[in-house]
Structure 1
Amino acid sequence: MKINRMESETAYAIMDASEKLSIALKSLFKPDGIRICQDGGKFNDLTHYHMHLIPRYEGDGFIWGEPLHPHGAEKRLSQTQKKILKTLSEEKRRSR
């Protein structure tokens, strides 16, 4: 069996990006925590690397699937994307 190995430079870039995105999510949505997960091997059904950063709230009833308490987030994806990109840009300017 061949094992695909990610290059160190790529792995570090992914962790750097997840840290920046976590900061943006915490700033925007004030979660109690962030769940970071990535599936590999048989469990990677998209056939490419991807990572999930999920804002978590105490008592949110998080399950991997549809939320217990629908909140319409899927209808606000483009707005959420714009907010995250704006926050990342602001964080980048502050860190210079």
Structure 2
Amino acid sequence: MHNKKKIDQLIHLPDLRFVRYCEENFGVNRGIYNIIDAWFYDQDMVNVSNRRKVIIEFFSYLNKEKENFKFGPGGVKAQLENFWISKKDSQVVSA
């Protein structure tokens, strides 16, 4: 689990470093990362810092659900929707 200080540092990394962090720590490639980033943007998360926090939270959520998550066809969208619903239900998501 990430502490608040580490997350605050991570979200301000240059783009490529943040993507590489996600690749190394969560096993997602650049293409999957871009899909996830765009999906959250489309959910009105236009602030990059907030969106990156939620992206890290999403990957942590997946790690809790499954030790090694893999996305099949349509799997990314389904997991994003499940996560978004869980966050909306707990009213933690902020744009």
Q: Report if TM-score (shorter chain) is over 0.5.
A: no
Larger radius of gyration: 1
Structure with higher strand content: 1
More helix by share: 2
- TM-score (norm: length of structure 1): 0.29
